[in-house]
Amino acid sequence: MNRNKHDLTFWVFLAPVLFAFVMIVVVPFFIGVYYSFTDWNATARAGQGLSFIGLQNYLVSFQDPGFIYSFLITTLYTVMNVVVINVVAVVLALAVTSKLRLRNAYRMGFFIPYLIGGLILGYLWQFIFNNAIPSIGRSIGLFAALADPQNLMLGEVSTSLIALVIVGSWQYAGYIMMIYVAAIEGVPNELYEAATIDGASEWHRFRSITVPMIAQAFTVTMFLTLVNSFKQFDVNYSLTAGGPATRFMDRSIYGTELLAMNIYNTAFVGNNLAAGQARAVIFFVVLVVFSLIQVRINKRRELEL
């Protein structure tokens, strides 16, 4: 057989994947970029009656307080989420790799929330924040402040954002923990034994063997959590639905509307598909930048090794 030839098998085997790729990714991607430069709206059919308006959708987006605010709040959410998830995950990973009797049960347990979708978890936590926590305040005098409607987590923008981080981290930390666990357990036992024979203390072994292994996994977990936090939609939709309202640049806007939800709302609630599409393009560009940085770091790391 000639291995440098495109025979019939080559194209037949590629056909299903190529077809889906063109239908679902390529065509909508390019239509989407094109639409972001037009006055596309819900009633227009593909390519009919659209007029080209240049960068106007982009300019309007960058002047819209709602979008600017959403960008800022998403950045803040992403940073908090990445830090909290990774700190919690490392601590849990260290705990469940130590000599605990029930360590497998802990691993499974911490991982479980990841299996349930963010949409469902958001509703569940909405109940916890709005009902379960205030009821603790009602029955235990010491925590009476919790029962005060003024103190509801989802009542203020700042605490709502923290609530989003709590739920996002609760869902994701167990999964990231598993990656750290794999990294820690990937250290050959001989390494620890050799270090012990050489007289290294427990702390020393931890610093010189475990920490570098965790750092190795950090590139993966960092970008996994970064990209997923930046794309958060489901928990946002079900937990806060973008609320509560706040004021920004003299306009009343949603206080916890992350970018993915801002794109969705611009198109469907604000009924401006072209503007939503322009925001999606901006969203995409940011994600491409994240990925390029990741590729860079991975390359540099490979060179070092």
Q: Which of residues 92-131 bind other proteins (CB under 8 A)?
A: 95-96, 98-102, 105-120, 123-125, 127-128, 131
Scan residues 70-89 and list those touching other proteins (CB under 8 A): none
Q: Which residues pair with 52 in a beta bridge?
A: 38
Q: With left for phi above 0 and alpha for psi between -120 and 50, is residue 241 left, alpha or beta?
A: left
Scan residues 242-271 and list those touching other proteins (CB under 8 A): 260, 263-264, 267
Minimum separation from the CB atom of position 80 to other proteins (A): 19
Q: How many CA atoms lie within 13 A of 304 on its CB side?
A: 7
Which of residues 69 and 129 has its CB atom nearest to other proteins in the complex? 129
Minimum separation from the CB atom of position 286 to other proteins (A): 9
The answer to the question of residue 55 lying near other proteins (CB under 8 A) is no
- Choices 16-24, 61-69, 70-78, 249-257 (CB under 8 A): range interacting with other proteins: 16-24
Scan residues 129-188 and list those touching other proteins (CB under 8 A): 131-132, 135-136, 139, 170, 175, 178-179, 181-182
Residue that is written with structure tokens 């923290």 in the block: 162
Minimum separation from the CB atom of position 45 to other proteins (A): 7
Q: Which residues pair with 248 in a beta bridge?
A: 251
Which of residues 23 and 249 has its CB atom nearest to other proteins in the complex? 23
Which of residues 245 and 249 has its CB atom nearest to other proteins in the complex? 245
Burial call 221-246: b when 16+ CB within 10 Å, e when fewer:
bbbbbbebbbebebbbbbbbbbebeb
Which of residues 6 and 250 has its CB atom nearest to other proteins in the complex? 6
* Beta-carbon contacts of residue 3 (< 8 Å; ≥ 6 apart): none
DSSP state letter for 255 = S
First to last CA, the chain: 38
**Which one among 87, 196, 271, 284 touches other proteins, defined by CB under 8 A?**
284
Cα–Cα distance for residue pair 106/100, rounded to 1 Å:
9
The answer to the question of residue 29 lying near other proteins (CB under 8 A) is yes
Residue that is written with structure tokens 């739920």 in the block: 167
Amino acid 264 reads Y
Cα-based distances in Å from 216 to 28, 202, 267, 304: 37, 20, 41, 12
Which of residues 79 and 268 has its CB atom nearest to other proteins in the complex? 268
How many chain residues bind other proteins (CB under 8 A)?
Answer: 90
Minimum separation from the CB atom of position 104 to other proteins (A): 9
- Choices 68-76, 191-199, 205-213, 229-237 (CB under 8 A): range interacting with other proteins: 229-237
Which of residues 143 and 251 has its CB atom nearest to other proteins in the complex? 143
The answer to the question of residue 31 lying near other proteins (CB under 8 A) is yes
Which of residues 43 and 250 has its CB atom nearest to other proteins in the complex? 43
Pair 212, 272: CB distance under 8 Å: no
Torsion (CA) 100, 104, 107, 108 in degrees, nearest 10? -150
Scan residues 205-224 and list those touching other proteins (CB under 8 A): 217, 220, 224
